[in-house]
Amino acid sequence: MTKKAFQPPFSVHYVFWLGWKILIVLSVSLCVLALLRIQRYSQPPLSSRVSNLEFHGTPKVAFLFLARRNLPLDFLWGSFFESADVANFSIYVHSEPGFVFDESTTRSVFFYNRQLTSSIKVGWGEATMIEAERLLLGAALEDPANQRFVLLSDSCVPLYNFSFIYSYLMASPRSFVDSFLDKKEGRYNLKMSPVIPKNKWRKGSQWISLVRSHAEVVVDDEMIISVFKKFCKRRPPIDASKGKQNVKLQKQHNCIPDEHYVQTLFA
């Protein structure tokens, strides 16, 4: 009796077909997982999506003061706010950590305890300046009634009364940001590319007025701010004690973050 030749349970063609099927299923699965991951990181935080819902009530202007310590012109601002309905505005102050606004440090009751408890030490020409701005905006966004956000320095002075400024801001759906392309300055760092292309680099005053959706963009940003922290730094001032080392230090790239961050982010 002759023995039958061994017959494999699967043909070669079937094995190849099965292999390709498994490969395709795995590829599709990986693509789905990748898309879900991209979607997860591209969506804004839940707080931002919820706050974009239409607000019903009296809208407020959030006055955001970026101060070194106290507010030297608090008496002028006190007169400014006295003519306003308290339901139409809110006040937030970023000062040095631990500084408290009370009867011993300010002449206006409007600033009592309006300082941020999460304030940081700020240095001129450092990324801490824009971090402080983001802290102010973040604190003000906690109140859904805040619909306009005005960033101010401790030396800013109101030129018009509250009624005029409130009506002017609320009548416009736009943000007010000074932004332009300065071809003469060399503050752009090529290392910022490709996250920040050179043609998107902008300059302008840090004192801005934002609508709520734009304030959320600034607070939610994690990508552009990280590039600024790494590549936009102020050149150190000349230090006589360092002698010839100053020559090398002065060759370092010079960048002032607060004059470029918001403008570049929106661009």
Q: Is residue 139 part of a domain?
A: yes
In a domain, 257, yes or no: yes
Question: Which residue's entry shows tokens 């760092």?
Answer: 189
pLDDT of 183:
77
- Within-domain flag for 34: no
Residue 151 bridge partners (DSSP): 64
pLDDT at position 48, please?
44
In a domain, 35, yes or no: no
For 194-202, the CB contacts below 8 A with 24+ separation are 195/223, 195/224, 195/227, 196/224, 196/227, 196/264, 200/264, 200/267, 201/260, 201/264, 201/267, 202/260, 202/263, 202/264, 202/266, 202/267
pLDDT digits (tens, 9 = 90+) for 197-212: 999 999 999 999 999 9
Per residue in 237-252, pLDDT (tens digit) is 655 565 555 555 455 6
DSSP code string of 137-179: HHHHHTSTTEEEEEEEETT---SS-HHHHHHHHHT-SS-B---
What's the distance, CA 98 to chain centroid? 24
What's the whole-number mean pLDDT along residues 53-73? 93
- Could you read off the pLDDT of 33-45 as tens digits, one per residue? 545 444 443 444 4
What is the tally of structural domains in the chain? Answer: 1
Give first-to-last CA distance, the chain, whole Å: 86
96: in domain: yes
Task: With 0.85 as the threshold, say if the pTM is over it.
Answer: no
pLDDT in tens, 127-179: 999 999 999 999 999 999 999 999 999 999 999 999 999 999 999 999 999 99
In a 3-state reduction of DSSP, which class is residue 210? strand
Predicted confidence at residue 148, as pLDDT, reads 98
Pull the structure tokens for residue 225: 């701010």
CATH number at residue 176: 3.90.550
Tell me whether residue 165 is in a domain.
Answer: yes
pLDDT attached to residue 56: 87
Q: Give residue 100's domain range.
A: 59-266
In a domain, 183, yes or no: yes
Q: Is residue 15 part of a domain?
A: no
